[in-house]
Chain A
Amino acid sequence: MKPGFAFLVHPLLHWHRRVMGVRRGHIGLALDHSAGIEAVGVAGSLTMPSNQGPVTGLIVAVPDTAAGLTSDQSRALAHQIRAAEIAIEHGVGAIGLANALGVVAGRGRFLAEQAPVPVTAGHAATAWAAIEITTMVAARQPGPIGVLGFKGTVGEAVAAALASAGHEVWVDATGSAAVRRAEKTGCRAATTQEVAGRAVVLVGGSTTGPVLAPSLVRGNTVLVDLALPPTLEPGPRPDGLTIVAGETLSLPGAITAGFWGRIWLTMANYGRGCVFACLAEPLVIAMTGESGWSEGRRLDPERLADLGGQLKRLGYHPVIRKR
């Protein structure tokens, strides 16, 4: 079976580099020393189930952690290009960018300009899953919804969709431009502290990790968390706080993976029988031949709904899962 799509990943922690080094037989990487472009390579593969038959995903890893990728974006782009070349040699029809690889080098736009197959950071699938999961949570717990990370692509799309559906949505928007965007999308602008204090359902969509002291969150709040590292700073949490993953999709069957593919799923924190939505977007591209859902800084609500329909047809459904 030819691989349908590739997912370009990087080590999230230093011990991940060591594991990747062992997999690649790369001594420098295995010892967590610096490693060059020769360390880019296949980290594993997995076969994803779908209602239209299985599709294979190739995991291609670059050697740098997020800190390394963001501190030298030219090097990050060179690594992205090398990883894409390897993926294309394996015949993939779409490329997904995981974690910091979807942030650097123009959020993947410079790679997309050069790659002969569609490239996506998966923002559209993430936003769609977060909208669906938050809607399910809000149906059980009615009241004001807060969205943190409104200035980001996913945060704004989620807030706008929820407001458009008639929810009372508060967003962390304090600058003049952000306040204007909030008004335009039907949301109410406030500080992070005010948003957390009002919401009974809180969406953590910040792109920079912990932004909120737990003491600012109301008791019995449900936090739908998209952020990695997580939204909440360390500290005692309020009574009754529930945290659910913001972009988890259930699958129409089991993922099958070899030893190294299974290792990668574990390192990337994927639970059993589910995936993060960003992984599913390149899969949809590979299966349907359609693409472009995540293009641009602002996501189109109609295109999000279209992508959601495609995911559901393939058997991928948003699911509430505790983090």
Chain B
Amino acid sequence: MADLPPDVDPEMFATVQASFCEALELDDDEVGWDSKILDDLGAESLDLLDVVFRLERSFDIQIPRGGLEAQAQEVDGQPGEVDGRLTEVGAARLRELMPEVPADEITAGMKSAELATVFRVGTFYNIVKALLEQKAG
């Protein structure tokens, strides 16, 4: 299992990891920062709902559905998505929002509905961190 990036709070990550372990009935050593949620952990969409609820309770936050996609719908007045597929600006915006995902996995032409296929455990850590920072003002 790969080490955590240096700027990651191990305690917060452990709580995120625990949410995945409980929802998916996995052991700690199966859930790493880089684990792909759908492919590596074998999650399905309802599992994501379960994980999100556990994170919301653990951190006392509300995670908006489709929040990442919404932030990339329009970028500087240009559409981030056309006919359900990412445009170049949309893909670039999502690469900024999800630095934990290798850049070559988010490309123009990708179906927006398939975005969850690139999500890592680290993606959820970053979502939680951003929401906690927003909450703290």
Leading 6 A-B pairs by shortest Cβ distance? A177-B42, A175-B39, A151-B44, A73-B53, A297-B25, A207-B46
B56 lies within 8 A of A152 (CB): no
Q: Could you give, for residues 35-66 of chain B, a 1 whenever the CB lies within 8 Å of some chain A CB and a 0 otherwise?
A: 01011111111110110111011000010010
Q: Give how many A residues have a beta carbon under 8 Å from the other chain's beta carbons.
A: 26
- Check: A181 CB closer than 8 A to any chain B CB: yes
In chain B, what residue has the closest Cβ to A175? Answer: B39
A177 lies within 8 A of B25 (CB): no
B50 lies within 8 A of A107 (CB): yes
A106 lies within 8 A of B39 (CB): no
- Check: B23 CB closer than 8 A to any chain A CB: yes
- For the complex, give the distance between the alpha carbons of A74 and B52 in Å: 11
- Check: B101 CB closer than 8 A to any chain A CB: no
Q: Give how many B residues have a beta carbon under 8 Å from the other chain's beta carbons.
A: 23
Q: Which of A72, A175, A181 has the most chain B CB atoms inside 10 A of its CB?
A: A175
Interface positions of B (Cβ within 8 A of A)? 23-25, 36, 38-47, 49-50, 52-54, 56-57, 62, 65
Contacting A175 at CB < 8 Å: which of B36, B53, B56, B65? B36
In chain B, what residue has the closest Cβ to A208? Answer: B45
CB neighbours (8 Å) of A52 from chain B are: none
B45 lies within 8 A of A181 (CB): no
B49 lies within 8 A of A151 (CB): no
B49 lies within 8 A of A175 (CB): no
CB neighbours (8 Å) of A149 from chain B are: 44
CB neighbours (8 Å) of B49 from chain A are: 70, 73, 103-104
Contacting A152 at CB < 8 Å: which of B25, B46, B53? B46
Can you identify 25 A-B contacts, CB atoms within 8 angstroms? Answer: A70-B65, A71-B65, A72-B62, A73-B49, A73-B52, A73-B53, A74-B53, A74-B56, A74-B57, A103-B49, A104-B53, A149-B44, A151-B47, A152-B44, A152-B46, A174-B39, A175-B40, A175-B42, A176-B39, A176-B40, A178-B39, A207-B46, A208-B44, A297-B24, A298-B25
* Given known contacts A70-B65, A175-B36, A297-B25, A106 and B53 CB-to-CB distance under 8 angstroms: yes
- For the complex, give the distance between the alpha carbons of A71 and B49 in Å: 9
- For the complex, give the distance between the alpha carbons of A152 and B42 in Å: 9
CB neighbours (8 Å) of B57 from chain A are: 74
